[in-house]
């Protein structure tokens, strides 16, 4: 089975320092939905691992998060794409949970759910914490320049072997294109 793990905000949709708090604020980055559809067509199971501390901060509730994800699923279906599983951490940044990236809890859950090691599995994010959670379980860290990606790249200290692409579409093309 081919698996890929994606962060949501800044990778699939535009991010906001004020959080994505309602379906109307969720807007896909051009080409991201089509990239997911191409990954699906290439045999990848696409999994999301996303910190959603807006819940823990009281900025929105579970019904609103579900409505945001429903909008995302419907938009993906319109271009022939799908998310096979969605994992999220609802806790605020100051909580001591094990699921909030950079901790690897969501990645451990993904490994258990799909009954597979994550060694070499591509994991795409736009922040250092996304990459750190990935490498904790041996996944291949991939940084996109969208969202917080440019700032993350400029700050340096990326995990060894991190691949960098302009956006999800470029990363997907790299992963799908056979190497000679």
Q: So which residues are the catalytic ones?
A: 7, 9
| 99/97 Cα distance (integer angstroms) | 6
Can you tell me whether residue 163 is helix, strand or coil?
strand
Phi-psi region of 161 (alpha: psi -120 to 50; beta: other; left: phi over 0): left
Can you tell me whether residue 128 is helix, strand or coil?
helix
Is the CB of residue 135 less than 8 Å from the CB of residue 2?
no
Can you tell me whether residue 4 is helix, strand or coil?
strand
């Amino acid at each position: 089975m081919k698996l890929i793990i994606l962060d949501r905000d800044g990778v699939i949709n535009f991010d906001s320092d004020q959080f994505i708090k309602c379906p109307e604020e969720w807007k896909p980055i051009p080409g991201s939905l089509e990239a997911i559809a191409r990954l699906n067509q290439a045999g990848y199971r696409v999994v999301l691992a996303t910190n959603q501390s807006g819940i823990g901060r009281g900025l929105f509730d579970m019904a609103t998060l579900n409505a945001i994800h429903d909008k995302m699923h419907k938009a993906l279906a319109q271009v022939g794409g799908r998310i096979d599983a969605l994992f999220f951490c609802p806790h605020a940044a100051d909580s001591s949970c094990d699921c909030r990236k950079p901790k690897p809890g969501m990645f451990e859950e993904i490994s258990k759910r799909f009954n597979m090691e994550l060694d070499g599995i591509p994991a795409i994010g736009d922040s250092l914490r996304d990459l750190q959670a990935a490498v904790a379980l041996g996944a291949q860290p991939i940084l996109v320049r969208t969202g917080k990606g440019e700032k993350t790249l400029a700050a340096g200290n990326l995990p060894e072997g991190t691949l960098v692409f302009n956006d999800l579409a470029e990363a997907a093309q790299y992963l799908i294109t056979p190497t000679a």
